[in-house]
């Protein structure tokens, strides 16, 4: 999430890294692609039950999560630090990078500076980004 500093600049240091990976949406429903599931078949046949788009969105976000998790794990094993960002101006990123599709996640990978607090602003070291309390998540165990 971007924060506004005292100077009024919105920034996000999670992606100020040596490498920034952009995971973008790509859904190819042409008949030449690999068969995915019954919902994909329904869309290809012109029969969209409403559940079809929801299923594709679940699959899309699961794929992004798996890719980001794998990238995070691999980068960590190689000694790099990572940060993910999903709160960004998607249209602006798409335009700047000349992407064909909608960007879903930005992920920074790079060298951590151990002398700096991870929440310090990259231009104004007197500004420390605030933290936010985590939302409680209730887990119900069904037996």
Question: pLDDT at residue 81 above 80?
Answer: yes
Kindly report, residue by residue over 2-33, the tens digit of the pLDDT.
555 555 556 666 777 899 999 998 876 666 66
Give the C-alpha separation, 127 to 20, whole Å: 24
Helices (H), 1-143: 38-44, 51-77, 90-96
Tokens of 15: 């992606």
| Contacts of 59-62 spanning 24+ positions with Cβ under 8 A | 60/25, 60/27, 60/104, 61/104
Q: Looking at the whole model, is its pTM more than 0.75?
A: no
Kindly report, residue by residue over 86-105, the tens digit of the pLDDT.
878 899 999 999 999 999 99
Question: pLDDT at residue 106 above 80?
Answer: yes
Residue ranges with strand state E in the chain: 3-4, 10-11, 19-24, 81-85, 103-110
Structure confidence at residue 1 as a pLDDT band (50, 70, 90): very low
């Amino acid at each position: 999430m971007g924060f506004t500093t005292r100077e009024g600049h919105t920034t996000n240091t999670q992606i100020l890294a040596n490498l920034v990976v952009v995971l973008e949406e790509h859904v190819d429903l042409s008949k030449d692609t690999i068969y995915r599931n019954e919902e994909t078949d329904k869309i290809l046949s012109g029969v969209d039950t409403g559940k079809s788009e929801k299923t594709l969105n679940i699959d899309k976000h699961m794929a992004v999560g798996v890719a980001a998790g794998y990238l995070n794990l691999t980068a960590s094993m190689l000694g790099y630090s990572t940060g993910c960002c999903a709160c960004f101006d998607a249209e602006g990123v798409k335009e700047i990078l000349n992407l064909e599709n909608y960007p879903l996640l930005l992920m920074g990978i790079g060298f951590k500076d151990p002398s700096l607090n991870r929440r310090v602003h990259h231009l104004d070291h007197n500004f420390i980004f605030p933290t936010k309390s985590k939302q409680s998540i209730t887990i119900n165990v069904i037996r």
